[in-house]
Amino acid sequence: MSENGKDRHPFRFLFKFALVVGFLALITKVVASKKEEYYGITESEARMKFESKLGPRIGEDKATEIADQVIPKLKDKGIIVADPVEDDADTTEEADDSADDDDAGEDEE
């Protein structure tokens, strides 16, 4: 025994340190795989995934509220993409507006 009553156990410290590092690596890997699930999917797919996972646990209304808060943040970060239907609707409206402008010019002549 040492003078202060404590024995030094370097292998015990190394073992505990290795466990902590391994645990942190596991958590990092799980978080990265969860993020990877959402990369590149559309807003509606992400919303359905959130609601299907959270709905049974906390209720459909709460799951919808949480999805309404989380989805815009993921969209801003570029993790999820906008629905292609919304994008098509925007471009279709712009095309209709320009077609209406062209039609108006023909009527004046």
Q: What is the pLDDT of residues 6-54, one digit of tens each?
A: 677 889 999 999 999 999 999 999 988 888 887 888 888 888 888 888 8
Tell whether 47 and 13 lie within a shared domain: no
How many domains does one find in the chain?
A: 2
pTM: 0.49
Q: Does 4 map to a domain? A: no
Can you give the pLDDT at residue 108? 47
Residues 46 and 95 in one domain: yes
Q: How far is CA 6 from CA 2, 3, 9, 11, 98, in A?
A: 6, 8, 9, 15, 84
Residues 99 and 85 in one domain: yes
Predicted pLDDT of residue 30: 93
Are 62 and 72 part of one and the same domain?
yes
More reliable by pLDDT, 84 or 106:
84
Comparing CA positions, the residue from 64, 59, 28 lying closest to residue 46 is 64
Containing structural domain, residue 20? 9-38
104 and 57 both lie in a single domain = yes
Predicted local confidence at residue 109, as pLDDT: 45
Is position 1 within any domain? no
For residue 103, pLDDT beyond 80: no
